[in-house]
Amino acid sequence: MSNCLNKLEFSESKSKKRLGKAYAFMGETVINRIIAYALYLLGANRNDIADLLSMPKGTLLCLLTRLSQNGLAGLSDGRIKNNTPIIRKESTDLEYEVECNGNICIKSGLVKSILKIATADVLRRKIVLLTFLENKLISYDMVARSLGVSVRHVGNLLKKLRVKGASSLSDRRIGQQQDYVYAPEIKSELILQFAVNASGNGKISSHALASDIQKRAHIDLSERSVRHHISKLGLNMISRKMKDLICSQKKT
């Protein structure tokens, strides 16, 4: 270990930049004490260390004694009572960000944790993200990107969460209760197409019927609405009877 310095490359410009940040973050005195202790552990002569850091030898010896007895607490100034911890508050603050894949990253200093939430679990994702938002840990824009909604909608969701609680965020849509907007002409086209397909070799699935109607009558119908009306009109119950009846009529 003592010879490792000979194998390392040092950059004076990088050193100045890094020391500047460290001085601003932890203070010049503390950083010099850390450097002094590191050089001591690597086997440097104590007089040389004191000269390099412009530190009185007596001060260096006291520092080494305190560190050997008190550990990291020895880096602080023992003459000051109730002195604040060396590690400043900023280093322990949690930083949150939402990745593009929807995961929530939690950073504490150099440590990064990932809070994974299944994309399919929309309710859970809403609750977690909106709770973070309510506590001002992440931004409206982060939540909007993760949920795939507008910032305005995020505001509405947050208001709903505050007023009615988490249960209000669940999707309670139960489908359209009233009749789909099918005029009699549209229904007649559906019945006609069903009869044609059922009496021949055509398919009577909602996909096939919607596709055939679009090709024949140039009317665009959703598969969901087609299924709804087939069931409502009872057409799915007479397809076999229709084929048998047509066959018997042909024979007679």
pLDDT digits (tens, 9 = 90+) for 172-182: 554 554 445 57
* pLDDT attached to residue 77: 56
**Is the pTM higher than 0.85?**
no
Q: Which two tokens stand for residue 244?
A: 């048998």
How far does the chain reach from its first CA to its final CA, in angstroms? 105
Long-range contacts at 78-86 (CB < 8 A, ≥ 24 apart): 86/26, 86/30
Instruction: Report whether 84 contacts 95 (CB < 8 A).
Output: no
How far is Cα of residue 226 from the mean position of the Cα atoms in its chain?
38
* pLDDT attached to residue 217: 86
Domain boundaries, the chain: 12-75, 93-169, 184-251
Q: Which two tokens stand for residue 128?
A: 């977690």
* pLDDT attached to residue 102: 57
Query: Taking each helix axis from N to C terminus, what angle separates 28-41 and 12-26, rounded to the nearest 10 degrees?
Result: 120
Q: How many CB atoms lie within 10 A of CB 130?
A: 22
∠ CA 193-198-202, rounded to 5°:
80
Instruction: Report whether 138 contacts 93 (CB < 8 A).
Output: no
Weakly modelled stretches of the chain, pLDDT under 70: 1-5, 74, 76-103, 105-112, 118-120, 171-181, 252
Q: Which two tokens stand for residue 199?
A: 């009496």
* pLDDT attached to residue 84: 47
- DSSP per position, the chain: -TTGGGG----HHHHHHHHHHHHHHH-HHHHHHHHHHHHHHTT--HHHHHHHTT--HHHHHHHHHHHHHHGGGGGS-TTSTTPPPSS-HHHH-EEEEE-TTSPEEEEETTEEEEE---TT-HHHHHHHHHHHHHTTSS-HHHHHHHHTS-HHHHHHHHHHHHHH-GGGGS-------SPPS--HHHHHHHHHHHHHHHHTT---SHHHHHHHHHHHH-----HHHHHHHHHHHTGGGTHHHHHHHHHHHHH-
pLDDT digits (tens, 9 = 90+) for 147-160: 777 888 889 999 98
